[in-house]
Structure 1
């Protein structure tokens, strides 16, 4: 009779991350996926609210630690730890910035920026800028992305235009918004702007919407993180670079697993490239010469799913309906109504790709007057029903990269 295999001894592991950030959540998800795919038995310590608190960490009676070393406080607290530690954080152009004796899993900043830059070039843009963060020890990763941006533009013979702005806080929010708007208005257009995070990309989009700068015709915006929360707070969906955070978490867990078995990775560094880009409306740049068409499409992207009519678009632009229709026919070869319908169709396709909404719910969200009308549009434009379109799409895994 075969004896059942006994479970491996459990190790007590501390995860020092701030999971209010999508980056940290992605790394933690990767660690969890590693545990689920192996027979590793870990007793994980995280704060109840998933925040990183260092008070008393030196007295942690555990077997190992995986921590976010982008936080200088974490790096300092764990510098002399006698436990096996795997560091996770930003990549650096200067090797001296890495912890000397610890294995280090890094997001590849140069490749993040390069992917965003190449995407904007592919969208037909020839001018570029970067929206970063104020210089500080906590924002070293943002300054690394600035260096990567400067290097790319210098290689192409271009000048790097970088705006760091102010820290995000309630007392200076109005001042920060005014400075950002002034900077955006000063940029030669059309321009592609890379934001070092999705949160900063949202600031850009808000400033454009308030000041009436068409996105993406005049300012195309791409962020980094692919944060679903940020997407839910913007009228125009934001394109974003998807970091390889889950791979970082899996790799960190794998290294610590080996270290608990006696392996040593003194000073080993592993750079993890981005997964790709979630391309949405904010970078779907289509050059047009008519300012009326630019303003009209800007309005349609914000309110196209709210039942707007051609007359409302013309009122916003400030021209007659017939004049606006003439501009649309010359520039895009379609009517204003068709452009509104195209926008609804694109949003419907994005919602159906999520696989968590019924066709009726999608029809309501996209502003179709009825489910039957949405079916008729899909039949005419895509030669299929919404359900058939959805069935052709792959079902995304439950845990998405951060």
Structure 2
């Protein structure tokens, strides 16, 4: 008599495919899963703002790894005791969290610019984003520990709250106010592209007058910049691997 086939564990991956960081996270998840028993995985093309599918609210799966959870999805998972590993800043959720070491990223950027002899420093990030704030705090702290000072500029991300031209004008006024030469750390490569675009408009020489370093090592974004943007690699693949490992416990 044949034994009934054991059903595969069902795992939902709510991770964006539209960014390099998200794809690297997925690569790490895949690397871990190849070391484990076969499982059924739900994955769709999505960006960071795409809402999870409504059917997840009634899903009877075995685990979720998410960078785009909603309160409704988390509440539903908690009610049914489905394990969730969060990769975003949802400190109010009593679930496992795995993310890049933002403090270390900020420190690395500061040391990179200091080693290149800069005496003036600045940070450009996004308002209301905890990961950006952590990177800013670590960057400024490292600079100040070495006796330096650091300026900062932040404005909202995600479909900018004000028109693109207004944000660029604000960055332009900020850049012109900075002492030169200046080493600037931007919270990610997208923000780095914003800054370098304004440098081009202002005809500021890069890296002689302004040096810019981003985060994520998004090759396409970095190469769009002139000159190409330098970037800190956050090792998102390790984040994905650790998240999958945590979920399997």
The 1-side partners of 2:247 and 2:200 are apart by 46
Residue 155 (structure 1) aligned to one of 131, 145, 162: 145
Classify 1:196/1:49 alpha carbon distance in 2 versus 1 (closer, same or farther; 3 Å): closer
Alignment-derived partner of residue 192 in structure 1:
183
- The reply to whether residue 85 of structure 1 matches residue 84 of structure 2 is yes
Q: Secondary structure at the match of 2:22?
A: helix
The DSSP-based 3-state class of the residue aligned with 2:87 is: strand
Q: Tell me the distance in 2 between the aligned counterparts of 1:27 and 1:180.
A: 31
Paired with 2:207 and 2:197, the residues of 1 have a C-alpha distance of 13
Q: CA offset at residue 240 of structure 1?
A: 0.2
Within 1, Cα distance between the matches of 2:70 and 2:100? 17
Q: Deviations over 1:175-197 (max 9, x none)?
A: 11111111111100111000001
SS of alignment partner, residue 56 of structure 1: helix
Cα displacement (A) at 1:49: 4.3
SS at structure 1 position matched to 2:60: coil
CA contact (8 A) 1:8 1:39 kept: no
> Cα RMSD over matched residues?
2.3
TM value normalised by structure 2: 0.87
Of 96, 100, 110, the residue aligned with 2:103 is 110
Pair 1:144–1:98, CA change in 2 (3 A): farther
Change (3 A) 1:20 1:147: same
Instruction: Give the aligned partner of residue 24 of structure 2.
Output: 26
Largest Rg, 1 or 2: 1
How far off its partner does 1:48 sit? 4.4
C-alpha deviation, 1:98, in angstroms: 6.3
Separation of aligned partners in 2, 1:238 and 1:151:
23
Contact 1:9–1:41, Cα closer than 8 Å, also in 2: no
3-state DSSP class of the match of 1:89?
Answer: coil
Which position in structure 2 is the counterpart of 1:122? 115
Q: Say whether the 8 Å CA contact 2:192–2:212 is kept in structure 1.
A: yes
| Segments of 4+ moved more than 6 angstroms | none
Q: Verify: 1:45 aligned to 2:39, yes or no.
A: no
CA contact (8 A) 1:107 1:244 kept: yes
CA contact (8 A) 1:89 1:107 kept: no
Q: Is the 8 A contact 1:127 1:192 kept in 2?
A: yes
1:165·1:179 contact (CA, 8 Å) conserved in 2?
A: no
Match of 1:215 in 2: 206
Q: 1:75 to 1:19 in 2, by over 3 A?
A: farther
Gaps spanning 5+ residues in structure 2: where? none
User: CA distance change for structure 1 residues 210 and 116 in 2, over 3 Å: closer, same or farther?
Assistant: same
> Cα deviations across residues 166-221 of structure 1 (Å, max 9, x unaligned)?
54549611111111111111100111000001000001111111110000001000
2:3 pairs with 1:10: no
**Count of aligned pairs between the two proteins:** 239
- Look up the match of 1:97: 91
> Which residue pairs with 1:74 in the alignment?
70
Q: Distance in 1 between matches of 2:47 and 2:195?
A: 29
Secondary structure (helix, strand or coil) at the match of 1:119 reads helix
Relative to its length, the structure with more strand (as a share) is 2
Q: 1:246 aligned to 2:237?
A: yes
User: Does structure 2 retain, via aligned residues, the 8 Å contact 1:125–1:191?
Assistant: yes
SS at match of 1:133: strand
Output one character per residue of 1:238-282: Cα deviation in whole Å (capped at 9) or x when no partner: 110001110111111112122xxxxxxxxxxxxxxxxxxxxxxxx
